[in-house]
Chains A and B, each alone.
Chain A
Amino acid sequence: MTSPLEQKKIKIAGPSVVTANRTWDGIVVYRTAAKSWSPDLSEAAIVRNSDEAKALLAESVADDVGAIGPYIAPVQIGADGKIEPGNLREQIRRTGLTIGQPAQA
């Protein structure tokens, strides 16, 4: 769960996606193969090596108006092809707080 803000090099150990926050409202989004952003992880473009990751990240960074702070995040792909976040941080970003919100309490 090392903060992506501390990522120095692009080195991926398995399937990964590029994620960011949408500029106008800040929600979590993923870069798609159609060169846009989606809040749905299942629509994310999957990269499997450093070169692919670099290319996807470069394209994402260039779309500065669409989303901010793009970075590469690990995912796991199940036998059924379902994409799941690869660590707790990304799990929390995808599914929300692990606690109830006070207004809902």
Chain B
Amino acid sequence: MYAYDEIDRTLVNERVSEFRDQVKRRLSGELTEDEFKILRLQNGVYLQLHAYMFRVAIPYGTLASNQLRALAHVARKYDRGYGHFTTRQNIQFNWIKLAELPDALADLAEVGIHAMQTSGNNMRNVTSDQWAGVAPGEIEDPRIWSELIRQHTTLHPEFSFLPRKFKIAITASDHDRAAIKIHDIGLRLIKNEKGETGFEVLVGGGLGRTPFIGKTIKHFVHGRDILSYIEAILRVYNQYGRRDNIYKARIKILVHELGIEKFSREVEDEWQYIRNSSLQIDDEVIEDIRSRFAYPAYEKLPHMPDELRQAAADPDFEAWRKNSVAPHKVQGYSIVTISLKPIGAPPGDATAEQMDALADLADRYSFGEIRVGHEQNLALPHVAKRDLPALWKALDKLGLATPNVNLITDIIACPGLDYCSLANARSIPIAQELTRRFANHELANLIGRLHINISGCINACGHHHVGHIGILGVEKNGEEVYQITIGGRADEGAALGNLIGPGVKFDEVADVIEDVVEAYLALRERPEELFIDTVKRLGVEPFKERVYATR
């Protein structure tokens, strides 16, 4: 866990006081909605269909147990008893009252949580690998660099009024769990031939109305230069990014229109002015941040404890272990992913009771630490293998042991038309129906790794473009219609999915997905060939044929 210093605490508390005053002036009529809107957005407050929505940042997806309890408290006291974990390591509360928001923020500030820059045209929450610091083979903990960027960009005046929102993600592993290629800036931690830490920098990725996979703008930027290089990118974006058309305002459009070579030259020119400035990072700064991350005092434990050997006889435990438990960099420990995708439930939601109970489990089994992943699941990053059976039983009692991580029912979905003022169609009921169709664990296991992503509008908060199967809800003649894509992926091999044909109605979506899956099972060369690989090998046509032959 990262320990905030006095400066951080003061900043967060002052922000709460400032927002309390702004809310007071808004409710008295001293501020109009036009004047207030930008202020509330900068504090993560949206207006949705039924109420205000409050988005809280979970920087680089790391939470302490007391912070998770504070989120549970907010859900219980100020909302309707639950929260929704998003695809960018935030949590959203859907029923918050404006008049009570300052109190909710004050309660969160007590544990170092805030909502700054979770909305608005500024630098959003810096996200990272939810397995950061514990993944085997990782270059180094990417959260150290995430924290450096978080500190530099929080309330940075030059980045507070960008042409549009700006998102950065960082990974330090070969397998990209942070989806860096669909971010405005994606950073991949690497070492150069001298063994020095630096970054491959990607730029111009993003989804929404005009999706692009990020392009490498520089193959190696030394760690000490990363702030100045990011700042150079942002300066070029700030200067040339379009403010006249919201649909063309993201950096991906600028990179596309200028071309990566020209964009890169502009950045290089700007960088030369600021590279050797105070933005150059001393090793001591990095070491200071590193020292503020408290790493657990791991015990020396056996690779295969007796408890795990005995539990392996239980097929239910084994089904969960196989999909939820991943190797840890320290022998005798595991990373446990907690599925927030129970069959028939809204993806990514957790009740206050579940959050409180998970905080207790984190204290007991994971050194008080919880992680949030962009797939809308949680993780306990430091679980001793001997504790896995006991943890599984405890999670099962909470309804949090669904053994479907990375399987077809581990669906990413945006809130859709049930909550969102921008949505054209519902997402959650589609996800719920799909989880029921594929609830049989043996079937889901037979299908293997398959990611379904659902968005209720073209803004793509459900990342439909990069789902192995993507579902996009649109509106046509007053009806909800869903376009299906296949072949997308969000990892190191990121790709955009391809449309399989005309949109289908709400009631037909689950049938169509069943057809796609049946086609895959018939077409795959061997059981180990994943859906995404079959699509890559054969293209869209055989799937299209199967779906539309009888429709």
Interface residues of A (CB under 8 A from B): 1-3, 5, 21, 23-28, 64-65, 68-69, 87-89, 92-93, 96-99, 101-103, 105
Q: Are A25 and B51 in contact (CB under 8 A)?
A: yes
- A-B CB pair tally, cutoff 8 Å: 91
Q: Are A26 and B98 in contact (CB under 8 A)?
A: yes
Q: Are A92 and B98 in contact (CB under 8 A)?
A: no
Give me 21 A-to-B residue pairs in the complex whose CB atoms sit less than 8 angstroms apart, sorted by A's number: A3-B421, A3-B423, A23-B26, A24-B27, A24-B99, A25-B52, A25-B98, A26-B50, A26-B52, A28-B50, A64-B32, A87-B478, A88-B480, A93-B49, A99-B346, A99-B428, A99-B429, A101-B80, A102-B82, A102-B345, A102-B350
Q: Which 10 A-B pairs have the closest CB atoms?
A: A103-B81, A26-B51, A25-B97, A26-B52, A65-B29, A102-B82, A1-B475, A102-B349, A68-B33, A24-B99
Given contacts A1-B480, A88-B417, A103-B352, is CB(A26)–CB(B429) below 8 Å? no
Chain B residue nearest to A69 in the complex (CB): B47
CA distance A13 to B261 in the complex (A): 51
* Interface residue? B390 (CB, 8 A): no
Given contacts A1-B480, A103-B82, is CB(A93)–CB(B50) below 8 Å? yes
Q: Are A5 and B421 in contact (CB under 8 A)?
A: yes
What 0/1 pattern do residues 469 to 511 of B give for CB contact below 8 A with A?
A: 0000001001010000000000000000000000000000000
B97 contacts which chain A residues (CB < 8 A)? 24-26
* Interface residue? B425 (CB, 8 A): yes
CA distance A90 to B82 in the complex (A): 24
- Give the Cβ gap from B509 to chain A, nearest Cβ, in Å: 14
Q: Are A23 and B27 in contact (CB under 8 A)?
A: yes
- Give the Cβ gap from A72 to chain B, nearest Cβ, in Å: 15
Name the residue among A24, A26, A103 with the largest chain B CB count within 10 angstroms.
A26
Q: Are B51 and A92 in contact (CB under 8 A)?
A: no
Chain A residue nearest to B425 in the complex (CB): A1
CA distance A11 to B96 in the complex (A): 33
Given contacts A1-B425, A26-B97, A68-B33, is CB(A92)–CB(B418) below 8 Å? yes
Chain B residue nearest to A105 in the complex (CB): B345
CA distance A92 to B426 in the complex (A): 10
How many B residues have CB within 8 A of the partner chain? 41
Q: Are B417 and A68 in contact (CB under 8 A)?
A: no
CA distance A87 to B424 in the complex (A): 11
Q: Which of B420-476 contact A (CB under 8 A)?
A: 421-426, 428-429, 432, 457, 475
CA distance A99 to B424 in the complex (A): 16
Given contacts A68-B47, A103-B81, is CB(A26)–CB(B96) below 8 Å? yes
Chain B residue nearest to A66 in the complex (CB): B29
Which residue of the partner chain, among A5, A68, A69, A97, contacts B418 with CB atoms under 8 Å?
A: A97
A2 contacts which chain B residues (CB < 8 A)? 424, 475
Chain B residue nearest to A103 in the complex (CB): B81
Q: Which of B34-82 contact A (CB under 8 A)?
A: 47-52, 80-82
CA distance A88 to B52 in the complex (A): 20
Q: Are B346 and A27 in contact (CB under 8 A)?
A: no
- Give the Cβ gap from A6 to chain B, nearest Cβ, in Å: 9
CA distance A82 to B29 in the complex (A): 35
Q: Are A89 and B49 in contact (CB under 8 A)?
A: yes
B27 contacts which chain A residues (CB < 8 A)? 23-24, 65
Q: Are A21 and B47 in contact (CB under 8 A)?
A: yes
B323 contacts which chain A residues (CB < 8 A)? none
CA distance A26 to B421 in the complex (A): 13
A89 contacts which chain B residues (CB < 8 A)? 49, 417
B432 contacts which chain A residues (CB < 8 A)? 99
CA distance A16 to B99 in the complex (A): 30
Known: A3-B422, A23-B27, A103-B80. 19 other contacts (CB 8 A): A1-B417, A2-B475, A3-B421, A21-B47, A21-B51, A23-B26, A23-B33, A25-B97, A25-B99, A26-B97, A28-B49, A64-B29, A68-B47, A69-B47, A89-B49, A92-B49, A92-B417, A99-B428, A102-B349
Q: Are B82 and A101 in contact (CB under 8 A)?
A: yes
- Give the Cβ gap from B188 to chain A, nearest Cβ, in Å: 35
- Give the Cβ gap from A18 to chain B, nearest Cβ, in Å: 15
CA distance A102 to B342 in the complex (A): 11
CA distance A87 to B478 in the complex (A): 7
CA distance A21 to B48 in the complex (A): 9
Chain B residue nearest to A6 in the complex (CB): B422
B51 contacts which chain A residues (CB < 8 A)? 21, 25-27
- Give the Cβ gap from A90 to chain B, nearest Cβ, in Å: 9
B345 contacts which chain A residues (CB < 8 A)? 102, 105
Given contacts A21-B51, A25-B97, A26-B97, is CB(A103)–CB(B422) below 8 Å? no
CA distance A88 to B473 in the complex (A): 14
Given contacts A68-B47, A87-B478, is CB(A97)–CB(B424) below 8 Å? no
Q: Are B47 and A1 in contact (CB under 8 A)?
A: no
B346 contacts which chain A residues (CB < 8 A)? 99, 102
* Interface residue? B351 (CB, 8 A): yes
* Interface residue? B419 (CB, 8 A): yes
Given contacts A25-B98, A64-B29, is CB(A1)–CB(B50) below 8 Å? no
CA distance A88 to B251 in the complex (A): 34
- Give the Cβ gap from A14 to chain B, nearest Cβ, in Å: 13
